[in-house]
Structure 1
Amino acid sequence: MILTLTLNPSLDRTIEIATLARGTVIRAATAHLDPGGKGVNVCRALLANQIRSCAVVPYGGAEGGQLISLLAQEGIQMITVPVAGPTRSNVTLAEPDGTVTKINEPGTALSAAELDAVADAVLSAAESADWVVASGSLPPGVPADMYARLCRRFTKAGINVAVDTSGPALVPAVASAPALLKPNREELAEATGASIASLGDALDAAGKLRAMGARSVLASLGPDGALLVEDGQAWYGECPVSEPRSTVGAGDAMLAGFLAAGARGPEALVEALAWASAAVALPGSRMPSPGDIHRDHVRILNPDPNKPLTPGD
């Protein structure tokens, strides 16, 4: 089983528009409301592909009640932890060319007692888990080393930990030696202090993250594909999307596909890219089901350090 922890879940509203023009009235083409948060999305993707998982979700207020209701409607197995503050709401504006503008609320602070309750819930459920996924941003006031502390406890108990986070939580989490780290291009730069303009830059950054403690690094590179570095080996893969609709949750679908395929080697990278590209072709933060996934569209290549990455992504 794959267990996920989302300390800062959300209600995600995605609105499809023709074009984003500041200071004007914009007519929406469609709108979607989905349960959100990186760990939540990982579970949604796994469920859509009949892989057993469970989400640990703190929730509060009317928004939290709606989040839990949406997850229950989808059939997500979950452990819910009530907290005092309301669950946050996020808004995404998606344009036809694949351009996405996101407005994410910061979330509500969790008290020390609430954090202890969440940690206890994760630790109790982790006994039957093959992987624990600690992902997403930290709510205001949560210690930056929260994921790192949990990672050390799980690793000591013999449980594999995958970390997908950013901001102040990222570097401490790397140093806690997770079995898998899944940064995107921006997070590669953030953690290493280096500009990521080419595939060679991404390779160097992934190597630095492994030297800092991460056992394996699965780096999503947006429209340029993904890079996997583990045990002194590296693989690069591409899976272009002809009609992108929304990138929201694509990285979470990538992580879910990678774990579902065993989390090792080029075969798992193929699955990760196939799931991620399928998510990009779907509206809102919908997760792909088997009929959406096309593994034959994925190409695995030897990483060319001189390959430039798409500017601005």
Structure 2
Amino acid sequence: MIVSVTMNPSVDISYPLDTLVINDVNRCDQVRKTAGGKGLNVTRVIHQMNEKVVSTGLLGGMLGAFIRENLSKEGINHHFSDIEGDTRNCIAILHDDGKQTEVLESGPVISEEELVAFETIFLNLAKTSQVVTLSGSLPKGVPVDYYSQLLTLLSDSQTKVILDTSGDSLKCALTGEHKPYAIKPNSDELQALIGEKVTEDYTNLPDMLTHPLFDGVALIMVSLGKDGAFVKYEDSFYRVKIPTISVKNPVGSGDSSVAGLAIGLAKELPIEDTLKYAMTLGMLNAMEDTTGSVDVTQFNQIYDRIFIDK
């Protein structure tokens, strides 16, 4: 089983408009509200691939209840920890020929007691799972090294942890005693971590990925957008080449790739197959209008067109 953690989930609200008029009334005929957050995107894609997954994290208030109801309607297994504060909204206004304006609430402030209650649920789920994914930002009140703390809680288990975050929370996890099994930075996040620019031909990526900061991390997958990915797995490097596709909505493709990594690791697939799983699901998400969604009927068609050079 796979456990997907979302510490700062949201209700994602999408407002499609022909034109966004500033300082005036904008009326919207079609509104889409979904259970959102990077970890919930991971959860949905794993579920769509008919793999066992349970979603956990922190939920509160009426919006938290909406997320639980939304997941239950989709048949997704979930076990969230209750908080007193209200889960946040995240609003995306889609307007003017592909432009997107977002309003992202910061979310509730989490107490120490609420974190302790969550950790009990987390440990009960994670210690019986092959893979745990930790995705996204941390809510207010949660220490910046909290992902590192969760890694410590799992240090005596065989569970593989995929950490998909950025900034200080990622750096804290990489400098802690117990490392994640896998991380998935993009090139900008990689540059921010070690203060070195990725060259246009990517030839300096092997040196960047052998930086001491990554010692102890078995799998590093650097997403390169339309150029595929560059991967360090243990002591080997891999270049993942992908076909050209028609992109509808790239948002959530990174989360979908995390879902693919989790499935591959849970199935104990060879690393090449695991990487192809990850890239296939990321591309399938980009081909859909809905974030965190894939058309499983096209899986083999994309999978067979991905090539990996070691």
Bucket of the pairwise TM-score, normalised by the shorter protein? 0.7 to 0.9
Label 1:114 to 1:17 Cα distance change in 2 as closer, same or farther (>3 A).
Answer: same
SS of 1:261 mapped into structure 2: helix
Note the C-alpha offset of 1:297.
6.1
Contact kept, 8 Å, 2:87 with 2:108, in 1: the verdict is yes
Note the C-alpha offset of 1:296.
4.3
Note the C-alpha offset of 1:266.
1.8
Contact kept, 8 Å, 1:144 with 1:169, in 2: the verdict is yes
| 1:225 matched residue in structure 2 | 228
Note the C-alpha offset of 1:163.
0.6
Compute the TM-score of the two structures, normalised by the length of structure 2. Answer: 0.87
Q: Equivalents in 2 of 1:26, 1:197: separation in Å? A: 43
Q: Equivalents in 2 of 1:103, 1:297: separation in Å? A: 39
Which of residues 268, 273, 278 in structure 1 aligns to 2:279?
273
Q: Does 1:246 align with 2:252?
A: no
| 1:182 matched residue in structure 2 | 184
Note the C-alpha offset of 1:301.
4.6
Compute the TM-score of the two structures, normalised by the length of structure 1. Answer: 0.86
| 1:109 matched residue in structure 2 | 109
Note the C-alpha offset of 1:139.
0.5
Q: Does 1:258 align with 2:261?
A: yes
Note the C-alpha offset of 1:207.
2.8
Q: Equivalents in 1 of 2:37, 2:143: separation in Å? A: 19
Contact kept, 8 Å, 2:243 with 2:306, in 1: the verdict is no
Q: Equivalents in 2 of 1:226, 1:19: separation in Å? A: 36
Label 1:233 to 1:47 Cα distance change in 2 as closer, same or farther (>3 A).
Answer: same
Note the C-alpha offset of 1:141.
2.2
Note the C-alpha offset of 1:57.
2.6
Label 1:15 to 1:212 Cα distance change in 2 as closer, same or farther (>3 A).
Answer: farther
- Which range moves more in the overlay, 191-200 or 166-175? 191-200
What is the RMSD computed on CA atoms of the aligned residues?
2.6
Q: Equivalents in 2 of 1:23, 1:264: separation in Å? A: 55
Note the C-alpha offset of 1:83.
0.3
Contact kept, 8 Å, 1:226 with 1:236, in 2: the verdict is yes
| 1:195 matched residue in structure 2 | 197
Label 1:242 to 1:216 Cα distance change in 2 as closer, same or farther (>3 A).
Answer: closer
- Which range moves more in the overlay, 118-127 or 150-159? 150-159
Note the C-alpha offset of 1:128.
1.4
Q: Equivalents in 2 of 1:29, 1:232: separation in Å? A: 54
| 2:306 matched residue in structure 1 | 299
- Which range moves more in the overlay, 159-168 or 232-241? 232-241
Q: Equivalents in 2 of 1:279, 1:122: separation in Å? A: 28
Label 1:266 to 1:127 Cα distance change in 2 as closer, same or farther (>3 A).
Answer: same
Note the C-alpha offset of 1:142.
0.9
Supply the AA of the counterpart residue of 1:239.
Answer: I
Contact kept, 8 Å, 2:162 with 2:262, in 1: the verdict is no
| 2:50 matched residue in structure 1 | 50
Aligned pairs for 1:98-177 (under 5 A) are 100-175=100-175, 176-177=178-179
Contact kept, 8 Å, 1:45 with 1:289, in 2: the verdict is no
Contact kept, 8 Å, 1:179 with 1:214, in 2: the verdict is yes
Label 1:288 to 1:210 Cα distance change in 2 as closer, same or farther (>3 A).
Answer: farther
Label 1:49 to 1:76 Cα distance change in 2 as closer, same or farther (>3 A).
Answer: same
Q: Equivalents in 2 of 1:3, 1:13: separation in Å? A: 25
Note the C-alpha offset of 1:254.
0.5
Taking only the aligned residue pairs, the percentage that are identical comes to 27
Contact kept, 8 Å, 1:39 with 1:135, in 2: the verdict is yes
| 2:74 matched residue in structure 1 | 74
Q: Equivalents in 1 of 2:101, 2:154: separation in Å? A: 35
Label 1:136 to 1:244 Cα distance change in 2 as closer, same or farther (>3 A).
Answer: same
Supply the AA of the counterpart residue of 1:53.
Answer: V
Note the C-alpha offset of 1:201.
4.3
Note the C-alpha offset of 1:212.
3.8
Q: Equivalents in 2 of 1:152, 1:281: separation in Å? A: 38
Supply the AA of the counterpart residue of 2:230.
Answer: L
Q: 1:207-266 CA deviation, whole Å, 9 max, x = no partner?
A: 327634322111222233222211221222233554322222211110111221236522
Q: Which runs of 5+ in 2 are unaligned?
A: none
SS of 1:84 mapped into structure 2: coil
Q: Equivalents in 2 of 1:18, 1:156: separation in Å? A: 54
Count of aligned positions: 303
Label 1:99 to 1:154 Cα distance change in 2 as closer, same or farther (>3 A).
Answer: farther
- Which range moves more in the overlay, 260-269 or 49-58? 260-269
